[in-house]
Structure 1
Amino acid sequence: MSCPICDKETDPKYRPFCSKRCADVDLAKWLSGSYAIPSEDPEDLEEAAREAESAPKRPH
């Protein structure tokens, strides 16, 4: 099995990662919201649309 972050061989101590660093990178992605489970719930979709409409516009 290879590390999902860097593809090196996993270390049993940090499985499924190869090191503490890669485990921490993965944790940071979860905490920052980079990982998300998509939702098909109509209420979630409506809330996301409202948030997108009210978000400040950024110039390109």
Structure 2
Amino acid sequence: MSCPICSKESEPKYRPFCSRRCADVDLGRWLNGSYAVTADAPEDLEEAAEALAQETQRPH
């Protein structure tokens, strides 16, 4: 398996990365928002709040 940051061979200690540096680069990308996980939730906060309120008001 190759490192997703630099494409070198991954090191078992840092898998899937080759080094601590590449692992830190990846973490930094997550923390600054370079990566994003897509969601099917409404983008508008008011719309999301209304949907949540409607779900909690439904009888179980």
Distance in structure 1 (CA, Å) of the matches to 2:38 and 2:12:
31
**Is there any run of 5+ residues in structure 1 with no aligned partner, and where?**
48-60
Where does 1:1-60 land on structure 2 (aligned, <5 Å)?
1-42=1-42, 45-47=43-45
* Aligned residues: CA RMSD: 1.1
Alpha-carbon distance, 1:34 to partner: 1.1
Larger radius of gyration: 2
Unaligned runs of 5+ in 2: 46-60
Number of corresponding residues: 45
- Distance in 1 separating the partners of 2:2 and 2:38: 25
Partner Cα distance (2:39, 2:30) in 1: 17
% same residue: 67
Q: How high is the TM-score relative to the length of structure 2?
A: 0.67
Deviation at 1:46, TM superposition (A): 2.1
Which consecutive segments of 4 or more residues in structure 1 shift more than 4 A? none
